Structure 1
Amino acid sequence: MKIHPTAIIEDGASVHPSVSIGPYSIVEAGAVIGEGCRIESCVRIYANTRMGANNRVCHGVTLGSEPQDLTFTPDKARPLTIGDHNHFKEGVNISCGVKSEEGTRIGSHNYWMAFSHAGHDCIVGDHNIFANTATLAGHVEVAHHCFVSGQVAVHQFCRIGAYAMIAGVTGVPQDVPPFALADGHRARMLGLNVVGLRRNGFSQAQRSRIKAVYRLLFKSGLPRDEALSSAQRDYPGPETDEILAFVRTSQRGLISFG
């Protein structure tokens, strides 16, 4: 274990012997840091944080901090659970949970750029990118392979579907469906995240099927249930199943199209 002499590791913290910890960082009692993690300078890892292997935590990051919730008291704190191979750039802040027993959950292979933030009880999957100052309010769910651009603000309880991209300086007040490209002062769906789909190996046939499903849902004029049934019948496939499951379980409604 390589720990700078100015770092503070409280009694009761569990730190794997392979971990390195830089100057002036603090790991509180109760925190767990897994194999191969690299903790840089002036980082604070709070007591309820559980971190997997090979994460990099850059200067000034705070993980598992008190949520920005006026009703919070320390006895309500719930875990922040982090997977493997995440990269947290300078000034990132992730809150611990407060409302659910599982707390805040971050998957693996996510890239958090400088000063991005996830609030309490967020659920984030794998292989997502959050650009500078991207902000997730409490209870936001982000699937996998999403790109959330700089200065995006996602309202609490919203969901971001898999392979979606949200353009910079966008406010997201409702759910963003899978594979979509969203933009606007209040986010609108402009089309598909074509670049992201190509990068992740989606074929032309798959992209065409996704486009056809969204055209049917948003442009056909059919009642929602009828449009969903038609999409299931006319464009069968795993992408269709994912879109329809997302739409059917939406609590806040979907962003508008166009």
Structure 2
Amino acid sequence: MTNTLISPLASIHPEAKLAEGVQVHPFAVIEANTEIGEGTIIHSGAVIHSGARIGKHCEIHPGAVIAGIPQDLKYAGEDSIAIIGDGTRVRECVTVNRGTVSRGKTVVGKNCLLMAYSHVAHDCVLGDNIIIGNATQLAGEVEIDDYAIASGGTLVHQFVRIGRHVMIQGGSRVNKDIPPYTLVGREPLCYCGINIVGLRRRGMSNDQIYCINDIYRTIYQRGLNNTEALATVEKEVGECPEREEILGFIRASSRGIIRGNMD
């Protein structure tokens, strides 16, 4: 393990698999049945439980707990894992529980940022480049797609799905699915427009942004029910990847999507 720096004050099970260049600081704990990728840093006081699969060049900060036992009364000790993708940063006191028999794994994608005191429960699936704000709490089996941001103090109900490029206002309570490209906030939570700043940062063209905006004006501002709105979008908006993604997301939603702004 050339270039690997392991403090003699860390507790590392001999069956743990540490790649080249891993750093483990004093008082970190790494159990058996764990894998830690090249160049990853495990800071003091972090706990890496059995079932953790941590990618390359990650950083696990003090007090974080990866692959803890699910907080689910149905969990019966079945083998499961928690996956942290390459380049993801896990800040202080974050908890990522491993999966249950439902999916068998909890997944956090590549280049994510999980801020301090946030929680990712059993069987959640997070895509890439996601930001989870301080003290945000994700219940079991939540799905979040790429580039979404859940600002600090957000509470997400179990089984909710959050689409790509969504921006959620801090302190929100999310109990319905949130379609892609949207900006949501207020109390109760509602659609507040499209995430135009985020879309421009991701390099979307004006034509793409105008198309997305037209779709959501039809869905949320023309007084149509969902069935009518989706049919109208298909009729009036030309085919494009964004249209198909939005229509597919809404049609696949089992919880229903967030309401529109009633002001």
Q: TM-score, normalised by structure 1?
A: 0.96
Aligned residues: 257
What does residue 240 of structure 1 align with?
243
Q: How does 1:64-213 map to 2 (within 5 A)?
A: 64-73=67-76, 75-213=77-215
* Cα distance, 1:211–1:88 mapped onto 2, change above 3 Å: same
SS at match of 1:76: coil
CA deviations 1:19-49 (Å, max 9, x no partner) are 0001100110000111111111101001111
CA deviations 1:101-142 (Å, max 9, x no partner) are 441011101011111111000000000111101111100000
Query: Is 1:254 the counterpart of 2:257 in the alignment?
Result: yes
What does residue 45 of structure 1 align with?
48
SS at match of 1:257: coil
What does residue 7 of structure 1 align with?
10
The one of 16, 27, 31 aligned to 2:30: 27
Alpha-carbon distance in 2 for matches of 1:101, 1:132: 26
Assess if the C-alpha contact under 8 Å between 1:42 and 1:59 holds in 2.
yes
Alpha-carbon distance in 1 for matches of 2:198, 2:240: 19
Assess if the C-alpha contact under 8 Å between 2:153 and 2:171 holds in 1.
yes
What RMSD in Å do the two structures reach over aligned CA positions?
A: 1.3
Please, which moves more after superposition, 152-161 or 231-240? 231-240
Shift of 1:223: 4.1
Alpha-carbon distance in 1 for matches of 2:93, 2:103: 27
Q: Which runs of 4+ in 1 moved over 4 A?
A: none
Assess if the C-alpha contact under 8 Å between 1:232 and 1:241 holds in 2.
no
Assess if the C-alpha contact under 8 Å between 2:79 and 2:104 holds in 1.
no
Give the AA of the match of 2:256: G
The one of 17, 28, 38 aligned to 2:20: 17
Assess if the C-alpha contact under 8 Å between 1:182 and 1:188 holds in 2.
yes
What does residue 227 of structure 1 align with?
229
